[in-house]
Amino acid sequence: MKKGIAASKGYAIGKVFLKEDKEIKITDKKVENVQEEQARFKKALDASESQLKKIKEKAQREVGADKAAVFDSHIMLLGDPEFAGTVENEIENNSINAEKALSDVVKTYAATFAAMEDEYLRERGADIKDVGHRILANLTGNISSLDDVDKDTVIVANDLTPSDTAQLDKNKVIAFLTNIGGRTSHSAIMSRTLEIPAVVGMKDITSCVKNGDTIIVDGIEGTAIVNPDESTIVEYEKKKEKYEEEKEQLKKLINVETVTKDGKRVLVAGNIGKPQDVDQVVANGGDAIGLFRTEFLYMDRDDMPSEEEQFESYKTVLQKMEGKPVVIRTLDIGGDKKLSYLPLPEEMNPFLGYRAIRLCLDRPDIFKVQLRALLRASIYGNLKIMFPMISSLEEFLQAKDVINECKTELKKEGKEYSDDIETGIMVEIPAAAVNSEELAKHVDFFSIGTNDLIQYTLAADRMNEKVSYLYNPLHPAVLGLIKLTIASAHKAGKWCGMCGEMAGDEKAIPILVEYGLDEFSMSASSMLKAKQLIMQK
């Protein structure tokens, strides 16, 4: 069994088609007739353009206009006079062949993208390489196609480019596996849109299989089994059948309002880490964003995101949700989440240390940048601000003071913000749950963070597999705190959500409905199943 990153859910059992990346050898040649070489390049450009236009039309039909839009940028690059001009100049100035000139220019372009801070833009470096590879293939007569594969094919490749994935025929290709890539790589995004199971980042899967091997793909666990025995095949056939039946059934729920058997309307919401994640929440009929973990905006970079950058991200999320509630949590850094550019003192117990709201209240220079961005974005939708790791009323009141300071500043600067922003807290420290009756009088809402609440209540580190047997969401002490928190909110006329993993836990859902939880927030792919369970209760 081989393991990788689960990119798209589902099961598949099929035959391997190994997509070998034909390394096109680039010969470095001096040419005498420069015009002839430039004309060869131009011909390859034109051929690439007409191929891509066809691929784009196919993608539009199969995955929709927004996903097919990726090819617009490819087609645009082909028509970009600067790009073509740079290659033509290279040919002329150095009297070199088109292949060498093209590969040099593509390398420079790709390196520029690779150095960009934004993860999305960095990934676009792959687009440039993809286009470059196509032109090169046309120059050298090496155009390959994934069009003519057999039925029940599992594509195994080092990586799949956007044009590869767009060519996949869903009636024949039932899954794919790649050596490289992460959840935000294009191939992963496409696999989810095409709704075919996929596992990416498998490191060396291409060297573990050969054409025609039987292979099982488990897009839920992120695994693949090469040449399984008969009983394993039977086992996975059953899993597949069950999964698909259920998925079909669940789709009917996308536009259904979630109402419990007792007639109570509850919200099924999504947890996100990046603005792009909203799309999946919307596609699964999400009623709200219940948790935006904003610390992800601060990670994988070399400096703090500016007010402007944050404003754009929050605005995007609010606009995409079109007036539905969006709970944005302020920076929850520290504990297991570190920033390379913000050195923090080594601590004996980081999870009990200088983190989240504690750090933010101590560093108004950091906190205020985020709050100003949030306030400015608030006019674009239904924003609710949530503070993490609150253990006492004082912390909440102090945090609200900082919001008020920011409002005063913005007003002076003539910048707009909404007057109607709810502020609430994560209930993830047992003290907050025990004291929830008092807290509920001051906040607009609670969201129970069970990931931390469980670890603090049971003194069982959420990251340590040695004590994971103690980490039990259904422990009576945990359930008691949850029940109390929900009841306290309701007593004060406030609403209570849950954004820890427990909100999507199939065993816990009926109990949470019983307790009167108002909003269940979880990863987009768990939402429909949760909806079904909530409605059964």
**One-letter identity of residue 34:** V
Specify the DSSP class assigned to residue 265.
Answer: B
Binding mask 469-508 for ligand PEP (x = CB under 6 A): ------------------------------xx--------
In 114-183, DSSP assigns E strands to 153-157, 173-178
Nearer to Mg ion, 168 or 357 (CB): 357
Annotated binding residue at 255? no
State in angstroms the smallest separation of the CB of 430 from Mg ion: 13
Residue 156 has which token pair? 């195994």
User: Residues 305, 298: contact at Cβ < 8 Å?
Assistant: yes
State in angstroms the smallest separation of the CB of 294 from ligand PEP: 10
Close Cβ partners of 125 (under 8 Å, ≥ 6 residues apart): 109, 110, 111, 112, 113, 114, 116
Annotated binding residue at 363? no
State in angstroms the smallest separation of the CB of 316 from Mg ion: 24
Helices (H), 115-194: 119-140, 162-167, 186-194
Answer yes or no whether residue 275 interacts with ligand PEP by CB under 6 A.
no
User: Residues 181, 8: contact at Cβ < 8 Å?
Assistant: no
State in angstroms the smallest separation of the CB of 168 from ligand PEP: 35
Q: Please tell me the chain's helix, strand, coil percentages from 3-state DSSP, rounded to the nearest 5.
A: 50, 15, 35
Nearer to ligand PEP, 102 or 386 (CB): 386
442 catalytic per annotation: no
Answer yes or no whether residue 286 interacts with Mg ion by CB under 5 A.
no
Helices (H), 336-392: 356-362, 364-377
Give φ, ψ of 345 to 5 degrees: -60, 145
Nearer to ligand PEP, 218 or 287 (CB): 287
Annotated binding residue at 428? yes
Annotated binding residue at 329? yes
Q: Total residues at the site for Mg ion (CB under 5 A)?
A: 3
Nearer to ligand PEP, 197 or 335 (CB): 335
User: Residues 198, 1: contact at Cβ < 8 Å?
Assistant: no
Nearer to Mg ion, 127 or 428 (CB): 428
* From the list Mg ion, ligand PEP, none, partner contacted by residue 500 (C-beta under 5 to 8 A by kind): ligand PEP
* From the list ligand PEP, Mg ion, none, partner contacted by residue 499 (C-beta under 5 to 8 A by kind): ligand PEP
Answer yes or no whether residue 428 interacts with ligand PEP by CB under 6 A.
yes
Question: Sign of the CA dihedral 186, 192, 194, 197?
Answer: positive
Of the candidates 298, 289, 319, which has an alpha carbon nearest to the alpha carbon of residue 519? 289
Answer yes or no whether residue 501 interacts with Mg ion by CB under 5 A.
no
Annotated binding residue at 452? yes
Nearer to Mg ion, 135 or 458 (CB): 458
Crossing angle for the helix pair 364-377 and 393-412, nearest 10 degrees? Answer: 60
Binding mask 13-52 for Mg ion (x = CB under 5 A): ----------------------------------------
What residues numbered 406-465 form the site for Mg ion, per CB under 5 A?
428, 449, 452
Answer yes or no whether residue 103 interacts with ligand PEP by CB under 6 A.
no
Report the Cα 60 to chain-centroid distance in Å. 23
Q: Write down the catalytic residue from 186, 360, 406, 496.
A: 186
User: Residues 328, 294: contact at Cβ < 8 Å?
Assistant: yes
Annotated binding residue at 134? no
How many CB atoms are closer than 10 A to CB 94?
14
Answer yes or no whether residue 293 interacts with ligand PEP by CB under 6 A.
yes
Helices (H), 7-69: 34-63, 65-68
Answer yes or no whether residue 451 interacts with ligand PEP by CB under 6 A.
yes
Binding mask 320-359 for ligand PEP (x = CB under 6 A): ------------x---------------------------
- Residue 522 CA to residue 270 CA, distance in Å, equals 5
Tell me the three state secondary structure of residue 322. coil
User: Residues 176, 200: contact at Cβ < 8 Å?
Assistant: no
- Residue 193 CA to residue 74 CA, distance in Å, equals 20
State in angstroms the smallest separation of the CB of 466 from Mg ion: 21
133 catalytic per annotation: no
Give φ, ψ of 11 to 5 degrees: -125, 150
What residues numbered 164-223 form the site for ligand PEP, per CB under 6 A?
none
Where on the chain is the footprint of Mg ion (CB under 5 A)? 428, 449, 452
Which residues sit in the known binding site for phosphoenolpyruvate? 293, 329, 451-452, 462
Which residues sit in the known binding site for Mg(2+)? 428, 452
Where on the chain is the footprint of ligand PEP (CB under 6 A)? 291, 293, 332, 428, 449-452, 499-500
Catalytic residue positions, numbered: 186, 499
